[in-house]
Amino acid sequence: MQKKHAIIIGSGFGALGSACILGKAGWKVTVLEKNESIGGRATIFKAKGFTFDRGPSWYLMPDVFEHFFELFDEDINKHLDLKKLTPSYRIFYKDLNEKVDIYSDLKKDIPTLEKIEKGSGAQLEKYLDQAGYQYEVAKDRFMYKNYDSVRDFLTKEVATEGRKLSVFKNMDRYVRGYFKTEQLQKIMQYPLVFLGSSPYNTPAIYNIMSHIDFNMGVFYPQGGIYEITKALIAVAKKYGVTFKTNSDVQKIIVEDGKAVGVKVNGKELRSDIVISNADIHHTEQKLLAEQYREYSESYWKKRTLAPSALIMYLGVDKQYDSLTHHNLLFSRDWKENFAQIFDQPQWPDDPSLYICAPSKTDPNVAPKGMENMFVLVPIAAGLNYTEKQLDAYADKILATMEKEMDLPDLRKHIIYQKNFSVKDFKDRYNSYQGTALGLAHTLRQTAIFRPNNISKKVADLYYVGAGTNPGIGMPITLISAELLYKRIIGDKTSGPLKKI
Ligand SMILES: Cc1cc2nc3c(=O)[nH]c(=O)nc-3n(C[C@H](O)[C@H](O)[C@H](O)COP(=O)(O)OP(=O)(O)OC[C@H]3O[C@@H](n4cnc5c(N)ncnc54)[C@H](O)[C@@H]3O)c2cc1C
């Protein structure tokens, strides 16, 4: 019997996950990626002896990765040399001239927190108990389930669990109920940036992020994050998946209301189903004719977008002891900073920022004695700027890093610098308004309220990746691949796939 053929537009983790699953399920799969390399936001580039991961740098939720590889009878540890980072990360507070290391080990972390706020150790334990409980419930019942209608989502179970899971409180209020000092509140709230959200617009269910970070730990695959991409490509190839780079899809071909293929680099390629892993706004507005679009421009204008970012890839000709692998600098005025990203878009004048220095763990990503630094400043999606303005802002950030993160003369030691920001996100990934991550995880953009993974207007057209459920992040987009497969085979269960 002839195999069914799936075309996947884009090659991010959602696409790679789907390619592996459908390949194993006996489908012919073709992945079409517009860029020169496979992996979506998780690719690398090399310059002057440095190897830079372009996007993600935190390996979180190891259980999700492990489970995903087990579906293919693959031991993830045979693909990745995973190191648990110690400390997991370092926090710098502006003006306070102190560093706080978090180890994801309560024996070490409780005394650290107690020094900042008396009684906070016990509070942390309580907070994490609840976060751990919520994580398990969310994973078993909500994250790995497809929803078809609001009714389907708003079951009695959601109403009861929803109250227990603090779905209806925002993270800011929730965290204040546990911790009094701003310093600790910020530690509990910063992981929301991973979800492209703010503590003021995100339901408290996402305190599960602290379970992920404090209880599960932070890992690094030796060689860099791109090693995960390579591992997924290897699994997909084992099942015969074809990858085509420099393949910019211009159109999804619809006949009699069904997706029957795509137009790529001027040629038609036919298939039984089409799956788009590209930004959903781009897919709908650019690849589909108007009558097949589910959402209007005004729908998109009303969405809360995850931030864009100013990213600086820096090659530095010396190493700095003040840094560890992951480093966070928190803004003084937290609320104002989030407001300048989400509510009144402008260049943040007191930004939070993040530096990943993988050369602290991995000698292969920088020449000997040098530092590889990936700097990320969250900024509003859709910001306009000239290159001159961007360079000036980048220089201001570098000056802040020198002063606040104990990196004297950093600017004199930079031997390679590449800036990447809003316009680059648009150009490289066709990302709506240049958001780095997609739709923020507000309550109104979660579960049934997020774009679904199946088109209502076109048969045999599906979506996978950060734009649909469950949402943003490498492990989460692997879950979206499982949800897609469940959707295709009509599996309505909750919980991870047991087999393919
Ligand atoms: C700077 C940054 C830091 C991050 N940090 C972390 C982190 O530390 N940990 C973590 O877990 N996650 C992190 N993330 C989030 C994570 O990387 C993403 O959520 C995830 O990788 C997105 O996967 P995806 O499946 O949605 O596809 P994407 O990676 O978004 O890939 C979509 C692909 O579609 C392609 N495409 C678009 N249009 C077309 C077209 N017309 N034809 C062909 N191809 C097309 C694009 O080029 C792109 O390659 C980070 C993201 C960024 C940007």
Residues 411-422 have pLDDT tens digits of: 999 999 999 999
pLDDT of 204 higher than 90? no
Residue nearest to atom 13 of ligand 1 (CA): 56
pLDDT of 271 higher than 90? yes
pLDDT in tens, 307-358: 999 999 999 999 999 999 999 999 999 999 999 999 999 999 999 999 999 9
Rounded Cα distance between 333 and 336, Å, is: 5
Considering the chain, what is the average pLDDT of its residues? 95
- Residue 186: the pLDDT is 96
- Residue 96: the pLDDT is 79
In this predicted model, which residue has the larger pLDDT, 227 or 443?
227
Taking residues 358-368, report their average pLDDT. Answer: 97
223: left (phi over 0), alpha (psi -120 to 50) or beta: left
Residue type at position 283: T
Taking residues 75-89, report their average pLDDT. Answer: 98
Q: Is 9 in the pocket of ligand 1 (CB under 6 A)?
A: yes
Q: Is 307 in the pocket of ligand 1 (CB under 6 A)?
A: no
**Which two structure tokens, joined as six digits, stand for 133?**
């409980």
Which of 271, 208, 270 has the alpha carbon at shortest distance from 63? Answer: 208
Fold annotation for 5-42+61-80+223-302+441-489: FAD/NAD(P)-binding domain (3.50.50)
490: left (phi over 0), alpha (psi -120 to 50) or beta: left
Contact 405, 355 (CB under 8 A): yes
- Residue 163: the pLDDT is 66
Contact 239, 201 (CB under 8 A): no
- Residue 23: the pLDDT is 98
Rounded Cα distance between 440 and 445, Å, is: 7
Contact 110, 100 (CB under 8 A): no
Residue written as token pair 């560890």: 324
pLDDT band at residue 140 under the 50/70/90 scheme: confident
With a pLDDT cut of 70, the percent of the chain lying above it is 98
pLDDT of 197 higher than 70? yes
CA–centroid distance, residue 383 to ligand 1 (Å): 20
Which of 463, 468, 466 has the alpha carbon at shortest distance from 488? Answer: 463
Q: Is 52 in the pocket of ligand 1 (CB under 6 A)?
A: no
pLDDT in tens, 87-98: 999 999 987 778
Q: Is 57 in the pocket of ligand 1 (CB under 6 A)?
A: yes
- How far the first Cα of the chain sits from its last, in Å, is 19
Atom of ligand 1 nearest to the CA of 286: 41
Question: Poorest-confidence range of 50-59, 193-202, 462-471?
Answer: 193-202
CA–centroid distance, residue 476 to ligand 1 (Å): 11
Atom of ligand 1 nearest to the CA of 57: 8
CA–centroid distance, residue 12 to ligand 1 (Å): 5
Domain boundaries defined on the chain = 5-42+61-80+223-302+441-489
- Residue 189: the pLDDT is 94
Q: Is 320 in the pocket of ligand 1 (CB under 6 A)?
A: no
pLDDT of 443 higher than 70? yes
Rounded Cα distance between 292 and 456, Å, is: 9
Q: Is 325 in the pocket of ligand 1 (CB under 6 A)?
A: no
Rounded Cα distance between 347 and 480, Å, is: 33
| Residue 427 burial class via C-beta count within 10 angstroms: exposed 0-12, middle 13-18, buried 19 and up | exposed
Taking residues 453-461, report their average pLDDT. Answer: 97
Test site for ligand 1: of 18, 41, 284, most ligand atoms within 8 A of the Cβ: 41
pLDDT of 157 higher than 80? no
Helix (H, G, I), strand (E, B) or coil at 442: coil
pLDDT of 162 higher than 90? no
pLDDT band at residue 446 under the 50/70/90 scheme: confident
* Residue 458 half-sphere exposure toward CB, CA atoms < 13 A: 29
- Residue 448: the pLDDT is 86
Q: Is 309 in the pocket of ligand 1 (CB under 6 A)?
A: yes
pLDDT in tens, 218-250: 999 999 999 999 999 999 999 999 999 999 999
